[in-house]
Amino acid sequence: MNVQDVAARLLKAYENAEPTAPVIETDPEATIADAYRIQQEQVRHWTSSGQLIKGHKVGLSSSAMQEQMGVDQPDYGHLLSGMFHLEQQPIPASAFLQPRIEPEIAFVLGRPLEGPGVTVADAVRAVEFVLPALEIVDSRIRDWNISIVDTIADNASSGGVVLGSKPTLLSAVDLRLVGCTLHSDGELIATGAGAAVLGSPLNALVWLANTVGPLGVRLEPGHVVLPGSMTRAFPVKPGDSVVANMAELGTVTATFAAAV
């Protein structure tokens, strides 16, 4: 397969706002290693165009998301500066193709993390604080018809991020026990807990550092890491307002601009 050609096809889906066929359909021999090479090719395009890498996301780290997407392992993607949206400020739904939303506990790093060999103790020392977050996942693959290869190639189905504004120290909270309620336009649509994310969101951070470390990637101070969703993902549309309440971590709201 030609990595550059597949990356260009996915980039064109962004530019034309038109989903494309699954990678695994057009290139059935593509491997997970190929998929990460395709992802990295797109990241190079974005950074050469002026965007900054502001962190990473771990996807498919809860059983709910693995079951929903039909996969059996986590993946990771890059968070670029253009993906971050301010809380309660209208987000243009037209910026996405097939958006869905999910609640997460975001880590903000104060120290670097570089695998292999990172432990939970190392991860705890590296985290400066956590924030409630809503991730907007999106797919450039038509009808979300994705395999693990497809979602990795598509930057782990990344779309956007909304961070809450209440920082909490790790010493003040047990992330495993943090409960979450998710409301859309005032209606409760899901509940979850931190333990849904690989037993603890910290485990997802450790997995990420140890997975990207051998590739020469270090998680940097100031980076945001999204460890994975506490619930399944829900479709969103213009005019929706979604609120995640994460108990002692506070709330975060994503508001989508109404259709014009």
pLDDT at 24: 94
What is the C-alpha to C-alpha distance for residues 176 and 100, in angstroms, rounded to an integer? Answer: 24
pLDDT at 65: 66
pLDDT at 260: 73
pLDDT at 60: 79
Do 134 and 101 contact (CB within 8 A), yes or no? Answer: yes
Q: What is the CATH number of the domain that holds 139?
A: 3.90.850.10
Contacts of 86 (CB under 8 A, 6+ apart): 162
What is the C-alpha to C-alpha distance for residues 208 and 206, in angstroms, rounded to an integer? Answer: 5
For the chain, counts of helices (H) and of strands (E): 7, 12
- Residue of 249, 236, 220, 259 whose CA lies nearest to 104: 249
Domain assignment of residue 179, given as a range? 3-257
- Please report, in tens digits, the pLDDT of each residue of the chain (260 residues total): 799 999 999 999 999 999 999 999 999 999 999 999 999 999 999 999 999 999 999 987 777 667 766 777 789 999 999 999 999 899 998 889 999 999 999 999 999 999 999 999 999 999 999 999 999 999 999 999 999 999 999 999 999 999 999 999 999 999 999 999 999 999 999 999 999 999 999 999 999 999 999 988 999 999 999 999 999 999 999 999 999 999 999 999 999 999 87
**Amino acid at site 92:** P
- Residue of 241, 112, 215, 122 whose CA lies nearest to 170: 122
Do 51 and 80 contact (CB within 8 A), yes or no? Answer: yes
Note if the pTM is more than 0.75.
Answer: yes
pLDDT at 61: 77
| Count of structural domains, the chain | 1
What is the C-alpha to C-alpha distance for residues 251 and 122, in angstroms, rounded to an integer? Answer: 28
| Bridge partners for 254 per DSSP | 242
Interstrand relation of 187-193 and 127-137 (parallel, antiparallel or unpaired): unpaired
pLDDT at 69: 67
Task: Record the tokens describing residue 259, joined without a space.
Answer: 């259709």
pLDDT at 199: 93
Do 93 and 160 contact (CB within 8 A), yes or no? Answer: no
What is the C-alpha to C-alpha distance for residues 155 and 57, in angstroms, rounded to an integer? Answer: 9
pLDDT at 210: 96
